[in-house]
Amino acid sequence: MKTKKTKKTRKQASSLNFLALSNDSTAKTFIMATLVCLVCAVFVSVAAVSLKPLQVLNKELDKKKNILQVAGLYQEGDDIEAAFSKIEIKLIDLETGEYTSEYDANSYDDRKAAKDPAFNVQIAKKDDLANIRMRPKVMPVYQVKEGDTVKQLILPVNGYGLWSTLYGFLAVENDGQTIVGLSFYEHAETPGLGGEVDNPKWKSIWSGKKVYAADGRVAIDVVKGAVVPGSSGNEFKVDGLAGATLTSRGVGNMLKYWMGKEGYQKYLNKVQANGV
């Protein structure tokens, strides 16, 4: 009995001792700093864990907003989910250019698939125009519908610029050839230089440009400087960004890759021949 009491009294005394220490003492400063760190770490962890589902939802909404924007179907303030109801997601096997129902189109994540050896293919160096090293075997296509008619096809694209991989969408009309728009939702190019890929004026130049030449080769490209008005092949050329030749080249190369045989060409050729 006596020993228990002594132990308790010692414990109380030691915690009191800590509080009784001078505010200038190294031990008290160290203990207080550790306690503050611990409390903050708990707050940050709780916030990170509890906000994760909201972050995932916001990321998903942002992606949908970008898809709607590139299709010209979104005005600031619109209900994203309501506008997105016009869009049907289908999956394409890039090897065959055929639709596949192997996975659930609404939950398929092409960016995750690109990193998973079970779902991706390594790209041979000579074919890797987009400089991405691997791509998913299956990609989603977002089909914009008016009633039963598919009006546009929105295709995810990605490729390396100067500092980063740019992720975005190319929207084409149901002829599989005429561009509606190009928009990026993620990149880390320099604001004011490569970051001008987000400039609405530059983005507007893409509308009406054509992807494939008469011989079937991918002809769309970003040129250095401005396209000369009236020059031949203008329908395939887009002005390069001033002071950002490397990002511009990256965008041109990414489209050459994704619109080519490794990418959506087999699918788009079928669309051109038989409709969507």
Ligand X SMILES: Cc1cc2nc3c(=O)[nH]c(=O)nc-3n(C[C@H](O)[C@H](O)[C@H](O)COP(=O)(O)O)c2cc1C
Residues lying near ligand X in the complex (CB under 6 A) are found at: 162-163, 189-190, 193-194, 242-247
- Residue among 187, 223, 232, 186 nearest 205 (CA): 223
User: How far apart, in whole angstroms, are the C-alpha atoms of residue 191 and residue 113?
Assistant: 30
CB of 65 to ligand X, least distance (A): 24
Angle at 108 between CA 275 and CA 176, to 5 degrees: 20
72 or 225: CB nearest ligand X:
225
Pairing of strands 165-173, 179-186: antiparallel
CB of 244 to ligand X, least distance (A): 3
DSSP H helices in the chain: 2-20, 26-70, 80-84, 110-115, 200-204, 245-258, 265-274
Q: What is the DSSP letter of 212?
A: B
CB of 130 to ligand X, least distance (A): 16
Residues found in the chain: 276
CB of 253 to ligand X, least distance (A): 12
Using Cβ positions, the residue closest to ligand X within the complex turns out to be: 194
For 70, the 3-state DSSP assignment is helix
12 or 199: CB nearest ligand X:
199
178 or 245: CB nearest ligand X:
245
110 or 239: CB nearest ligand X:
239
Structure tokens at 39: 């409390």
Q: What is the DSSP string of 141-187?
A: EEEEEETTEEEEEEEEEEEE-SSSEEEEEEEEETTSSBEEEEEEEE-
89 or 193: CB nearest ligand X:
193
156 or 240: CB nearest ligand X:
240
CB of 57 to ligand X, least distance (A): 30
67 or 244: CB nearest ligand X:
244
One-letter amino acid for residue 9 of the chain: T
Structure tokens at 165: 């991989």
CB of 226 to ligand X, least distance (A): 12
CB of 133 to ligand X, least distance (A): 21
